[in-house]
Amino acid sequence: MEEDLAAQRIIAVIATTAMVTKTKPKSTPPPGTVAQTAPAASLVELITLQWQRERSDLDLSDFLLAIYFMRLGTLVGRAYDRMCERRYKISGDDMRVLLALRRGGPPYAKRPTDLFRALLVTSGAVTKKVDRLTERGLVDRMADPGHGGGFLVHLTRKGLQVVEEVVEYLARESVIAPAMSQFTQSEREAGSRFAMRVLAALEHAGLADASQEDEPAPQRGRKKAGR
């Protein structure tokens, strides 16, 4: 219960912080216009109240918590993407490949299968990401001694330098820092434990397997004319 409450409070505060920042007037409105004021409550609280009003007959706890997680991911992901594009001219998704290679430690190399499982994307998506990063000199392909004909994706010296800068920047300038400063250490730890337990349970249930997305959809026969 403590972890549930801490996680929901963290998500709500992050959403509120982002909403207030987005809606705060930056300058005095021109004459003849009406100034826009920040909402009394966060948008995520409004969404919660509306659903609870419209479907009070249902237990919406899991439904709403999923919405909170999705909105949190969107807010964090959007800021992360902007940072990657602004500082390094690559997408946030491509940067995640570099981060996955870095966290494994020397020699900073992984098989493509390890990457698409870790990043929750398809093998085809990983191939495209590796191609783009190779063109920028951030990774290269090297022969896999443990798999004949296979290869490893390896961080180059330039790629290692970039990812080290990113990790240090995110540790200092995390997008969630303004929101997290409003919580006690115990609340932060409880929220982290809750999020990790939810993710572990979903992975155990098979929701982290993206390999099936590579499979083509079954072809259906065309309907005959006149039917």
DSSP string computed for the chain: -HHHHHHHHHHHHHHHHHHHHHHS--SPPPTTSPPP---SS-HHHHHHHHHHHHTTTS--HHHHHHHHHHHHHHHHHHHHHHHHHHHHSS-HHHHHHHHHHHHT-TT-EE-HHHHHHHHT--HHHHHHHHHHHHHTTSEEEEE-TTSTT-EEEEE-HHHHHHHHHHHHHHHHS-TTHHHHTTS-HHHHHHHHHHHHHHHHHHHHTTTT--GGGGSPPPPPPPPPTT-
Cα 177 to chain centroid distance, Å, stands at 16
Average pLDDT over residues 81-95: 95
Residue 86 has pLDDT above 90, yes or no: yes
Rounded CA-CA distance 176/18 in Å is 9
- Structure confidence at residue 15 (pLDDT): 54
Residue 83 has pLDDT above 80, yes or no: yes
| Choice between 150 and 2, residue whose per-residue pLDDT is larger | 150
Residue 170 has pLDDT above 90, yes or no: yes
- Structure confidence at residue 145 (pLDDT): 86
Order of strands, sheet of 109-110, starting from the edge strand that comes earlier in the sequence: 109-110, 151-155, 139-143
Q: Which tens digits make up the pLDDT trace of 13-40?
A: 555 554 444 444 444 444 444 344 344 3
Rounded CA-CA distance 165/144 in Å is 28
Structure tokens at 24: 């705060």
Cα 223 to chain centroid distance, Å, stands at 42
Rg value, the chain, Cα: 22
pLDDT tier at 207, thresholds 50, 70, 90 = confident
- Structure confidence at residue 227 (pLDDT): 46
Q: Which tens digits make up the pLDDT trace of 127-159?
A: 999 999 999 999 999 998 888 778 999 999 999
Residue 50 has pLDDT above 80, yes or no: yes
CATH 1.10.10.10 in the chain is located at 90-174
- CATH no. of 90-174: 1.10.10.10
